[in-house]
């Protein structure tokens, strides 16, 4: 008896997905709850598990096809082994005897060296595939430590660290009359590569363009002296990590500062819905993190009720699971305000784009020593540029500047975060 594999519910407002990769081929044995296909949604990659143990007998959709929630995409039959029925041997009487003088047929040349990389490549999970493609690695050179000979993310990282993973180098161009070497030109070949956009990248592009087309977006800037925060972090980081098991970073200070500023300027935490303004009396802060598929914004729910330790643990967990492709769809939905830290990539200044329907986004940037004037003297301080992009339909310039100055004051004097100033 066969069992249908259907597209599960993917979260609120997500009605369809694209087949990104089949993790099992027709004829392969599968265990119950073992991932057999990876789907790409507008937000994250999702692996669909097998509903029962057996053999994958049919794939009903191809890679790249879009399927709706509830659609049947494969069938699993009963059985415990990966079998593709072998042809029955011919009957002896139907086979004429070979001439005595005829030489034995030449054995086919082994194709194992070529087949192994492909087989290994077919067994890669989305998270492992992204690592392999990012570092241009040959999967066949990585020792597999996972179930059924599958390569895990830990296997890839261990191979990279040990230097045993081989990189894939593009083959040299054919030495024909048109090749640069044959013509003596010495110029490298001009090549192009076309790669289909993932659903995540398509969604990012669409939403960013919608934000530009819909909101009256404006950005205001300020700079902040990071001396006090850096001093506090250096003073307490060891005790903080020992007590809470997580490192004390800069992001938790900015989350706390933004939460306080949102209380002072509630319009930055509001949203326009039709002809109404919705003021949120809570703070769900989106934290922009980088993933192999692009920038994603998991939501730090109830940030106004979290401690520094809770905030740091949640942010560290978001970053780790974003890299591994394990964020859940519900963790990417909602949000009242967003913080994006381009400084981790070396950005000095930028104008972040709103994440609709939010009305504000704070852009952090790199910290660098710059000369500033303090008490009439030129001194060197660790400075950071801050950028607040906001929807001018809802937020006036005065409110935007007031919000940004409130964040600046809290960062330059962290004691304000403790006494709610």
Catalytic residues: 392, 396
Residue 27, both tokens: 């004829």
H or E stretch covering 119: helix 112-122
Q: Are strands 368-374 and 377-391 parallel, antiparallel or unpaired?
A: antiparallel
**H-type helices in 135-226, by residue range?**
153-162, 180-183, 199-214
Give the list of residues 6+ apart from residue 194 with CB closer than 8 angstroms, or none. none
Give the list of residues 6+ apart from residue 307 with CB closer than 8 angstroms, or none. none
Contact predicate 123/35, CB 8 Å: no
What backbone phi and psi angles, to 5 degrees, belong to 296? -125, 155
Q: Which residue has 């599958």 as its token pair?
A: 150
Distance CA 332, CA 9 (A): 15
Q: Residue 370 pairs with which residues in a beta bridge?
A: 381
Residue 77, both tokens: 């039959």
**What is the 3 state secondary structure string of 44-59?**
CEEEEECCCCEEEEEE
Contact predicate 303/318, CB 8 Å: no
Q: Are strands 54-59 and 66-68 parallel, antiparallel or unpaired?
A: unpaired
Largest CA distance in the chain: 108
Distance CA 61, CA 53 (A): 21
Residue 273, both tokens: 């819905």
| CA 339 to mean position of chain CA atoms | 17
């Amino acid at each position: 008896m066969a069992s249908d594999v259907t597209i599960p519910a993917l979260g609120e407002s997500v009605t369809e997905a694209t087949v990104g990769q089949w993790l099992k081929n027709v004829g392969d044995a599968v265990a119950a709850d073992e991932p057999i296909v990876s789907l790409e949604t507008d937000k994250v990659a999702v692996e669909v598990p097998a509903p029962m143990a057996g053999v994958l007998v049919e794939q009903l959709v191809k890679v790249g096809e879009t399927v709706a929630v509830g659609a049947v995409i494969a069938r699993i039959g009963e059985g415990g082994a990966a079998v593709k029925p072998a042809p029955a041997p011919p009957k002896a009487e139907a086979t004429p005897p070979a001439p005595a003088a005829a030489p034995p047929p030449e054995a086919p040349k082994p194709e194992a060296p070529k087949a192994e990389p492909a087989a290994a490549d077919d067994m890669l999970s989305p998270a492992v595939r992204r690592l392999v493609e990012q570092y241009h690695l040959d999967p066949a050179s990585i020792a597999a430590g996972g179930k059924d000979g599958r390569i895990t993310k830990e296997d890839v990282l261990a191979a990279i660290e040990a230097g045993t993973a081989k990189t894939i180098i593009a083959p040299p161009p054919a030495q024909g009359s048109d090749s640069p070497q044959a013509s003596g030109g010495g110029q490298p070949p001009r090549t192009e590569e076309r790669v289909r956009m993932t659903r995540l990248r398509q969604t990012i592009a669409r939403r960013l363009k919608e934000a530009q087309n819909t909101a009256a977006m404006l950005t205001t800037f300020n700079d902040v002296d990071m001396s006090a925060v850096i001093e506090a972090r250096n003073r307490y980081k060891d005790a903080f990590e020992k007590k809470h098991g997580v490192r004390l970073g800069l992001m938790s200070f900015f989350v706390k500062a933004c939460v306080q500023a949102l209380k002072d300027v509630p319009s930055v935490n509001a949203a326009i819905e039709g002809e109404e303004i919705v003021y949120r009396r809570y703070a769900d802060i989106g934290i922009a993190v980088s993933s192999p598929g692009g920038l994603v914004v998991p939501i730090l729910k109830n940030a106004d009720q979290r401690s520094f330790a809770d905030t740091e643990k949640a942010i560290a967990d978001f970053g780790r699971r974003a890299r591994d492709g394990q964020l859940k769809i519900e963790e990417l939905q909602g949000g009242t305000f967003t913080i994006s830290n381009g400084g981790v990539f070396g950005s000095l200044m930028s104008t972040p784009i709103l994440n609709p329907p939010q009305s504000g986004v704070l852009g952090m940037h790199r910290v660098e020593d710059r000369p500033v004037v303090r008490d009439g003297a030129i001194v060197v301080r660790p400075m950071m540029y801050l950028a607040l992009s906001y929807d001018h339909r809802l937020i006036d310039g005065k409110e935007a500047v007031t919000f940004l100055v409130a964040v600046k004051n809290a960062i330059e004097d962290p004691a304000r975060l403790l006494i709610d100033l």
